[in-house]
Amino acid sequence: MRKRKRRKIRKFKKRWLVLLIPVSLIAVGILIMVTFYWDLTKQTVLLTKNVVAPYEPDSTAREFEHETWSTLPSPGDNLGELKIPSLELAYPVVQGTHDNELKMGIGHYAGSMLPGQGGQVLLSGHRDTVFRKLEHLKVGDQIVFTTQYGDFIYEATDFKIVGADDKTIIVPKEYETLTLTTCYPFDFIGDAPNRYIVYTKFLSKTETKTAATN
């Protein structure tokens, strides 16, 4: 009788172990996913905090050569594509830097200028998705912002690490320039305490087929 009871107990334990292992794996997987998306949401909130200018677009858009943006983009509108050949990086750029927009790709701060308007173009993205390779960018590397008005080519000139509450990222510029920003450190888990900033200088503008036919 005792042997039978022991066998039953062993079988019972084995069954529970068989059930417990996959359930535990599923629970761990769910926890990882929840942590990942929570971190992305936190990044979005922290990145958006750096916007010091509300969305008040300049209706008299400054001209670049002979072209302007004919219509002001709405949140979520596709503005083009950002490419960094040295990093083999290429992602769509959309208007806005809130959670919904940053899920689509790289976000354009609504309070900053658009390519070709002769001011600061400010783009932001998550450090663990679209901008995960940004730390490997070097001075002299080219950054191409492809839009319906042509390819705007910039060159990386400097890098800076600032605090999460730094309000000096957006400053009025009287010349064409592109600034990239993301949370820092890149391998930090949780709410990153700093921001990684990439500064550039404008090199040239190349007509695209779409722009040439307009």
Distance CA 156, CA 139 (A): 5
Q: For residue 28, tell me if it sits in a domain.
A: no
Please report where in the chains the tokens 């976000």 appear, as a residue. Answer: 107
Would residue 183 show up in a list of annotated catalytic residues for this protein? yes
Extract the residue ranges of the chain whose pLDDT is less than 50.
32-66
Which residues partner with 163 through β-bridges? Answer: 194
pLDDT of residue 111: 87
**Residue 36 located in a structural domain:** no
Per annotation, catalytic residue among 66, 98, 108, 183:
183
Asked, for residue 80, whether it belongs to a domain, the answer is yes
Identify whether 7 is part of a domain: no
Would residue 126 count as lying in a domain? Answer: yes
Cβ atoms 101, 94 nearer than 8 A: yes
State the CATH number of the domain containing residue 150.
2.40.260.10
The answer to whether residue 124 is domain-embedded is yes
Is 98 one of the annotated active-site residues of the chain?
no
> Looking at residue 165, what is its pLDDT?
85
Does residue 84 belong to any structural domain of this protein? yes
> Is the residue at 134 inside a domain?
yes
pLDDT for 211 equals: 52
The CA distance from 125 to 144, in Å, is 16
Please tell me the total count of domains within the chain.
1
Out of 98, 108, 126, 136, pick the active-site residue: 126
pLDDT digits (tens, 9 = 90+) for 104-160: 999 999 889 999 999 999 999 999 999 999 999 999 999 999 999 999 999 999 999
Domain of 140, in residue numbers: 41-213
